[in-house]
Amino acid sequence: MARRTTGKPTGKTSAVVQDFLSEVYLEASEAGRVSLRALAARLGVTPPAVSRMAQRLVRQGLVRREGACGLVLSDAGERIALKAIRKRRIFEVYLVQKLGYTWDEVYPVAASASNYLDDELVERMYVQLDRPARCPHGDPIPARDGRIQPIADTRLSELANGAQGVVSRVASHDSNMLRYLSSLNIKPGMPIQLMSRAPFSGPLRVRVANGNFQDEHVIGAELASKVWVEIGHPA
């Protein structure tokens, strides 16, 4: 990635800007680059609206253009994004552990509300939750200084036949997908093993722990690409 510029925001950052910067960071983490079209899809707005916001944030020194339609966070923009992601993921854990939400319900609630929560309130939630390291989907919660604990994991779709480990995270907030994975007991912390795969990007057969038993399921390659596994733990 090209060298980032450093900008210094003034005043309190609005929730809209926090959302925008967070999605730039997350899209870059997942896709390796950030396009205006992809950002528009993530934010549920039109590409022209994204372009206008990008121009504004470029002037503020929070992002800069990369290529014809790409964006890169500045150091200042990344700090804001990581702070917002920390609040969102802590709030997700709070919703699940204290308010009884399921992992397929929390993201839209947390995404729309977390940036409006008082910083000290979120930190008190964090302490009450016994300082969780990950959100309900398995994503790491950034530290207050912006550091993120790296996870040595691999997409389920990229494992070798016979490889086994533990589901580390699921890279999706699609409620239907999360409910389906939950019905298969494929969620963070669960042992899993790739038994075999059909050729030409065909479906995968996986073995998943289910209490004292082990169930086998056949899932599509696209779904398997959303599931990340930490290798080496017995399934």
Q: What are phi and psi of 131, to 5 degrees?
A: 55, 65
Q: pLDDT tens digit string along 145-162?
A: 989 988 899 999 999 999
Residue 136 lies inside a defined structural domain of this protein: no
Q: pLDDT tens digit string along 3-32?
A: 333 334 334 788 889 989 998 998 887 766
Gap between the Cα atoms of 72 and 83, Å rounded: 17
The Cα-based distances of 80 to 83, 122, 144, 235 in angstroms read 5, 15, 11, 39
Residue where a domain stops, chosen among 63, 78, 93: 78
Give how many domains the chain has, as a whole number. 2
Residue 61 lies inside a defined structural domain of this protein: yes
Asked whether the predicted pLDDT for residue 118 surpasses 60, the reply is: yes
Domain containing 36 — which CATH number? 1.10.10.10
Query: For a pLDDT cut of 70, what percent of the chain falls above it?
Result: 91
Range of the domain at 194: 154-231
Residue 164 lies inside a defined structural domain of this protein: yes
**Beta pairing, strands 164-170 & 213-219:** unpaired
Gap between the Cα atoms of 57 and 77, Å rounded: 9
Residue where a domain stops, chosen among 78, 97, 132: 78
Asked whether the predicted pLDDT for residue 60 surpasses 90, the reply is: yes
Residue 130 lies inside a defined structural domain of this protein: no
Which of 25-34, 169-178, 212-221 is the most confident on average?
169-178
Instruction: Judge residue 167's burial from the number of C-beta atoms within 10 Å of its C-beta, 0-12 exposed, 13-18 middle, 19 or more buried.
Output: buried
Residue 74 lies inside a defined structural domain of this protein: yes
Asked whether the predicted pLDDT for residue 74 surpasses 70, the reply is: yes
Residue 50 lies inside a defined structural domain of this protein: yes
Residue 177 lies inside a defined structural domain of this protein: yes
Domain containing 217 — which CATH number? 2.30.30.90
Q: Which helix (H) or strand (E) holds 81?
A: helix 75-99
Asked whether the predicted pLDDT for residue 234 surpasses 60, the reply is: no
Gap between the Cα atoms of 103 and 13, Å rounded: 28
Residue 40 lies inside a defined structural domain of this protein: yes
| pTM as predicted | 0.86
Lowest mean pLDDT across 76-80, 89-93, 139-143, 229-233: 229-233
CB 61 within 8 A of CB 5: yes
